[in-house]
A and B are shown apart, each in its own frame.
Chain A
Amino acid sequence: MALPAVQITGVRAEIDPVALARKQVRVEVSAGVLRISDRGLAAVLSPAGVLVDRISNGRIFLRKRQSLPVVGLVDVSLEYHPSLGQRGRITFDLVAFRAGVFSVPGFVVSGLIAGAVRGKPGIHITEDNRIELDLGEVLAEAGIRLPAPKALGADGGVLEVAF
């Protein structure tokens, strides 16, 4: 069976009954495994015209048809390396890119994806267009506290984060 967009398994958590009685949610998660499939990533990125080629060998391969200065409309291929960053965030580093046969500055290309995800919940863009995802921040809005991620993997079409 194909993976859904997001799958969370092995969840262990405490729910505050007093908050629940007040119709509020206060959940403290102590463990779990989050899997985001290539379909899930595509669901987030496709509205911005970004296609997900694959997730494999610790890399995320993306593609975007983009009009670039001087060279015009080209297919830009991007290779991101996800890793555990500081403050419990997941960092996405652009490690390789290609814009057809043209030579394009790296900052122009990295800005393409940064621009596509900027403003999404939990997304932080650093000055050098590195993308950081803070899942804890996303879930805090819903009253759910996450521990810092312990392990991360990207292979077989899935980005996996263990808490």
Chain B
Amino acid sequence: MADGIRINDAAVEISPEGLQALVNRQGAEVRVTKLDLTASPEALNALLSGLAPEGQTAPTVEVSDGRLQLSGTREGKSLNLDLQVGGLHLEFTAEGLRLVTG
């Protein structure tokens, strides 16, 4: 298996109804209550490569301490995003997703 995405710690729960559906092969209902995950730059690039539309060059990503750089080209023009923000914190709110730097 290719190295790259490691679950360091996670916890999930399944309700009685969800378990019944799972056992009867009628679907799945899983609640994630804890997640600590690490994705290497190689893994991120493998994902970006797989998600790129056919015939298009996938963007590449570089990650270092406190910094994420995304580079790509589209119609001959280069596109670069340099996030020098230390980190990102993703919150789920009633208004939707909130992504906060720092």
The smallest C-beta distance from A93 to any residue of chain B, in angstroms, reads 22
The 8 A CB mask of B39-79 against A (1 = contact, 0 = none) is 10011101101110000000000000000000000000000
Q: Mark B13-29, 1 if CB is under 8 A from A, else 0.
A: 11111111001010000
B9 within 8 A of A: yes
Contact at A11–B5, with CB atoms within 8 Å?
Answer: no
Is the Cβ of A14 less than 8 Å from the Cβ of B1?
A: yes
Complex Cα–Cα for A75 and B85 (A)? 66
Which of chain A's residues have a CB closer than 8 A to the CB of B10?
A: 8, 11, 13
Contacts of A11 in B (CB 8 A): 7, 9-12
Instruction: Decide if B23 touches A21 in the complex (CB within 8 Å).
Output: no
A6 closest partner in B (C-beta): B14
On whether the beta carbons of A43 and B20 are closer than 8 Å, the reply is yes
Pairwise interchain contact B39-A6, C-beta atoms closer than 8 A = no
Q: Given contacts A5-B15, A40-B14, A40-B16, is CB(A12)–CB(B9) below 8 Å?
A: yes
Which residues does chain B contribute within 8 Å of A18, judged by CB atoms? 2, 46, 50
B4:A15 contact, CB within 8 angstroms: yes
> Chain A residues near B18 (CB, 8 Å)?
5
Which B residues are closer than 8 A to A by beta carbons?
1-20, 23, 25, 31, 34, 39, 42-44, 46-47, 49-51
Given A8-B12, A10-B9, A22-B50, 5 more A-B residue pairs with CB atoms under 8 Å apart are A7-B12, A8-B11, A12-B6, A12-B8, A13-B6
